[in-house]
Structure 1
Amino acid sequence: MLLLNLLLQTGALLLIYQQTSGLKLRLWQLLSFIPLAGLGLWLPDYGIYLMALVLFYLYGLPAFKDRQYLALFFSLYTVSFFSLIGNILDSLAALAPIYNILEFIIIPVPVLLNLVFLKVANPNFRLLHAAYELPVKAMLQVINSVLALLLVAEFSSYFLQALDRDFSALRYVISGIFFAVMALLLLYITMKIRLMQADQIKELRRAQLAQLTTYTQQIEGMYNEIHEVRHDLGNVLVSLQDSIANQDLPAITQIYNNVIAKYGQPLQNSKFNLTHLSNLKIPALKSLLSAKIISALGLNIATSVEIEAPVVDCYVELVDYLRILSIFLDNAIEANASVADPQLNIAFIAYDQPQQLVVIIDNTTDQTDLNINQIFKPKVSTKTGDHGLGLAIVKELLDRHPNLMLQTTCQDGRFRQVLTSTPLGGIPSL
């Protein structure tokens, strides 16, 4: 019976860890917890928790890209939450005459309570991964210290109760205090993450407004230019009508060569590609793309945009998606700076079956010896001064989203990025 109890506790710990961290442990990692339950037969009451804490930390460290404070947070949170809630429920169940039955029934309760907390509070723990540097790292240090102290105090109560049975009554009070501290800590984490989200959204909206302003000004310029052409052509048509009526062929030829033919050039200008953005149904994405296109046109880069089908979803967190595309487009524009005939081609291809969005960014470059495997590493760059971090950030963002796939090629003076996104659970394909 004890072994079954330990196996159930181990399973509950695994569920809470995966619910909270978002990690899906591999089969061999899950199987490694089975011997842990067996060792619990010979270890103290808190022994299984300490070993689970170590395993969660070791398995989480590579998954969180060596963000040790974040890996430690999810480990401490899992063990302290399960231990605290389980201890309170176990103490209450011990008062009932059917404790032998209740001790098995209460084991999944912490899992359900954690699920309720995640659904109701909805803390975006992924944001802690994305914004790991200060002040997040400092915040995690404080939170981890509090959780560690809670665990030490909780485990000490096990030891004291084993020495003195009269300690049980006091342990109820201590558990109540620990529960209040844990609740306040969860409230603090939730509020802190929401404030970070609000700041992120505010910054995104500010950037979107600036891009939208630029986009609107460009559209107004296009409208004025078209209106001017329309007005001039109206006058030309009157002159042309008179020449046709008089069958004055030299005058007709002169009007065509000197007036009408030249008006084809403004309408062929690549800035009119902005009209293709109407198929982008994501306002923030449209604003970003329009701003980058206008920037490229201002540098006399021949720019083309193809968006044949409506784009309504990018299938990943929008902030991360915009960040990736912004880095790609900035790099493409910069790569054209030293090219004799600069070109930038952008295409959005939305598929229904299977659902996926493919973005192709193709640009000219004077680089002929790029090592594709190296450019995504931190401080490895084709820019002067070895200060490039953009593609390293892209690599981190791609690692965070399994439904994103990137294909990068560089040959014959052209650099191409193909980014494919699918609904979560789908398999990106090119």
Structure 2
Amino acid sequence: MDITYVIISFAVFFTQISVITVLYQQISGITIRWYSYIGIIFFNVALFLIAPPIGYFFTYLFWLGYSLYKDRSHNRPLAVFYGLYPVVIENLFNRVMAFYIFPTMGISLKMMEQYPVLNVLIELLILPLSYGVTRSIQLDFRNLQLGFEKRYLDRTLIVVDISMAIYCIVLQILLLTDDLIPNAAVYREKLVGAYVIFFLIILIYLNSKFSDKLQAEILQQKDIQLAELAKHSQHIEKLYEEIRSFRHDYVNVLMSIQSGLELRDLDAIQRVYDTVLSKTVTQFSDQKYDIASLSRISNIAVKSVLSAKLREAHEKRIKLEIEIEENLNLSVIDTLDIVTILSILLDNAIEATLLTKRPILKFAFFHHNGYLVCIVENSTLQETVSRSDIFKKGYSTKGNSRGIGLTKVMEILDRYPNASIQTRSSHYSFSQVIKLKEPTN
């Protein structure tokens, strides 16, 4: 076998796998670490060199299997979509250039067969072409990811999955029966032309629908945030009035103490302490004043969700311990993601601690050693809670079909390579510690 042909074939396949890997990360939002990225490419290339037919078909099936394996939400149609999309996009743009773009420049299919190095050029042009097309149709991959995760248009997603599977199967049939079916190349060209139009239209449709639904959800969320902020402002105003009233009365208290001291009347001083000062200690140690520390958070969405959850806990007579650092920088994580995480963790903590005789909820938000740290801790009915199953969908210590929230937390954190969550449980206490690595300047 010609060594030049082997080298070029290797280069084509290597570039193809690299392109598909990038497309997979783009559509799924899952970041593949560099060592896994290199391992995936070399594994596919090695398999292709050892057994070319197996390696060829394995390229189509690998990402489907990988996507199903990474599917934490058990949304199988979405996992299938993520697995087939990069393969189909690579294939479509490859053949669009071969069938439609290159011939306009005088490069025919026969020339590509004679000079296989042109296939390397095609693979190298796929990502720029894909980028240009997605920009021209204003395709927002983040919208697609959020829309799919929220299970908008599930039936449409299933139709898209089926269409991609049919496209791949029919294309392979036409390739394998090229010598048996007259004009098989023409059929392939028509299949590619028709499907690329269909696929782009369906992507535009999904992007448009998801954008509308997400925008409506954002507007609704903003209304909720404004309502919660109004309640928070009323809460702060009420506390301010209490403090102002106390400040006015405090002058009279000091004058009473001063009179007692001048007369050396210890009984009078004791009466002032018992009737006024002792109650003041109790009054101003109330946890409702701790909630006022939310004013240290500048992010309106985060402040509103924390205000709602912590006031709910206060109203349910849960003992609160709150620590929030000044000037928190939350730019390390998307606002919607941190709001979702906080809502889930606090909802779980409130629900769990209400089952105990002494409900306690501790919340901390601060920077430490280059990390943004969030801690949610609550008292538990059991001395220890098993940590091995809590992130499995459907698992809950509080009953069936209740464990969806923590699965969602894991899905979100998976999108941040430098994020981690630590779970601890002992002595009737359960805590979740989330750390997000902050960018270095």
- TM-score bucket (shorter structure): 0.7 to 0.9
Shift of 1:369: 4.1
Aligned 1:17-32 pairs, distance under 5 A: 17-22=20-25, 23=30, 24=32, 25-32=36-43
Aligned AA for 1:86?
N
d(CA) in 2 for partners of 1:382, 1:182: 44
Aligned 1:112-131 pairs, distance under 5 A: 112-117=128-133, 121-124=139-142, 125-127=144-146, 130-131=149-150
Hey, what does 2:234 align to over in structure 1? Answer: 217
d(CA) in 2 for partners of 1:89, 1:339: 66
Task: Say which of 46, 53, 62 aligns to 1:55.
Answer: 62
Cα shift readout 1:89-141 (whole Å, capped 9, x = no counterpart): 2235353387536444222111222234456523124325633xx44542221
Aligned 1:82-231 pairs, distance under 5 A: 82-91=90-99, 92-93=101-102, 95-96=106-107, 100=115, 102-117=118-133, 121-124=139-142, 125-127=144-146, 130-131=149-150, 134-152=151-169, 154-155=171-172, 158=175, 162=179, 175-231=192-248
Task: Say which of 10, 13, 16 aligns to 2:16.
Answer: 13
Distance 1:104 1:329, change over 3 A: closer
Shift of 1:272: 0.7
The gaps in structure 2 that reach 5 residues or longer are none
d(CA) in 1 for partners of 2:119, 2:398: 63
Shift of 1:274: 1.9
CA contact (8 A) 1:89 1:106 kept: yes
Hey, what does 1:417 align to over in structure 2? Answer: 432
d(CA) in 2 for partners of 1:166, 1:332: 65
Shift of 1:324: 2.5
d(CA) in 2 for partners of 1:375, 1:35: 38
Cα shift readout 1:59-102 (whole Å, capped 9, x = no counterpart): 22212235432333234322322222222322353533875364
Answer yes or no: is 1:81 the counterpart of 2:106. no
Shift of 1:248: 7.3
Distance 1:39 1:335, change over 3 A: closer
Answer yes or no: is 1:296 the counterpart of 2:313. yes
Aligned AA for 1:127?
L
CA contact (8 A) 1:363 1:416 kept: yes
d(CA) in 2 for partners of 1:138, 1:300: 45
d(CA) in 2 for partners of 1:394, 1:283: 21
Answer yes or no: is 1:407 the counterpart of 2:415. no
Question: So what's the TM-score if we normalise by structure 1?
Answer: 0.81
Kindly tell me the number of residue pairs found equivalent between the two proteins.
416
Distance 1:277 1:50, change over 3 A: same
Answer yes or no: is 1:70 the counterpart of 2:78. yes
d(CA) in 1 for partners of 2:186, 2:357: 83
Aligned 1:308-387 pairs, distance under 5 A: 308-313=325-330, 315-351=332-368, 353=369, 355-383=370-398, 387=402
The gaps in structure 1 that reach 5 residues or longer are 426-430
Aligned AA for 2:14?
G
d(CA) in 2 for partners of 1:371, 1:218: 38
Secondary structure of 2:162's counterpart equals helix
d(CA) in 2 for partners of 1:267, 1:320: 35
Shift of 1:183: 2.4
Cα shift readout 1:177-219 (whole Å, capped 9, x = no counterpart): 3332232133223324423432443453344234323322311
Shift of 1:350: 0.7
| Identical-residue share of aligned pairs (%) | 26
CA contact (8 A) 1:403 1:421 kept: yes
Task: Say which of 386, 390, 400 aligns to 2:405.
Answer: 390
Question: So what's the TM-score if we normalise by structure 2?
Answer: 0.79
Secondary structure of 1:108's counterpart equals helix
